[in-house]
Amino acid sequence: MEHHRKTASSTTVILLIFVSGLLLGGMISSYILIRKLDSLENDFLNLQSQVSNMMGNQNVTQQNITISGNNASLTEIYEKVKDSVVLILGKTGSGTVQGSGFVYNYTGTMVIVTNNHVVHGTNSL
C-alpha cells in the first residue's frame, strides 16, 4: 500500500509540474505575443502618420492651356520636342494611370504637355 501511495504521489507531482509548465509556457508566449503586437501597432501608426504627412505635402497643379496662332506644323513641333518626351505616372482613388507627354518651354516656364485623359481624375502625379 505504501508503494502504491508513493507512486500516486509521484504521478501527482509530475502532473502538477507538467500542468504548471504548460501554464507558464502559455503565459510567457502570450506576453511575447502581446509585446510584438504592440510593437507592430506602433510601427503601423508611425507609417500611417508618415504617409499622411507625405500626402499633405504634395502639390498637383493642373492647367489646360490652348496655344494657337503661330501656324506651326506638327512636323516642326515634333522636331523641336522629340527629345523631351516623358513618362507620366499618376494615382487615382482606385489605382494608377500612365501616359506620355513632353516638356515644353512656355513663356519661360517649363511645362509638361499631355492629353487630358492622362491626368483627369488623378490626385497625384
pLDDT tens per residue across span 42-89: 999 988 888 777 766 666 666 666 555 567 777 877 777 677 788 888
Do 121 and 82 fall into the same domain? Answer: yes
pLDDT band at 7 (very low <50, low <70, confident <90, very high): confident
pLDDT at 32: 94
Q: Which of 20, 36, 57 is the last residue of a domain?
A: 57
Q: Which of 57, 78, 98 is the last residue of a domain?
A: 57
pLDDT at 57: 62
Do 82 and 53 fall into the same domain? Answer: no
* E strand segments, 1-125: 85-92, 95-106, 109-114
- Provide the domain limits for residue 52: 1-57
pLDDT band at 20 (very low <50, low <70, confident <90, very high): very high
Q: Which of 57, 72, 103 is the last residue of a domain?
A: 57
Do 6 and 24 fall into the same domain? Answer: yes
Mean residue pLDDT across the chain? 81
pLDDT at 22: 93
Q: Is the pLDDT of residue 29 over 70?
A: yes
Do 125 and 97 fall into the same domain? Answer: yes
Do 69 and 89 fall into the same domain? Answer: yes
What is the DSSP-derived secondary structure letter of residue 123? S
* Angle at alpha carbon of residue 78, lines to 104 and 100, rounded to 5°: 60
pLDDT at 62: 63
% of the chain beyond a pLDDT of 90:
22
Do 94 and 49 fall into the same domain? Answer: no
Contact status, residue 116 vs residue 97, Cβ threshold 8 Å: no
Do 36 and 2 fall into the same domain? Answer: yes
Do 52 and 69 fall into the same domain? Answer: no
Contact status, residue 97 vs residue 104, Cβ threshold 8 Å: no
Do 48 and 65 fall into the same domain? Answer: no
pTM of the model: 0.37
Higher pLDDT, 7 or 87: 87
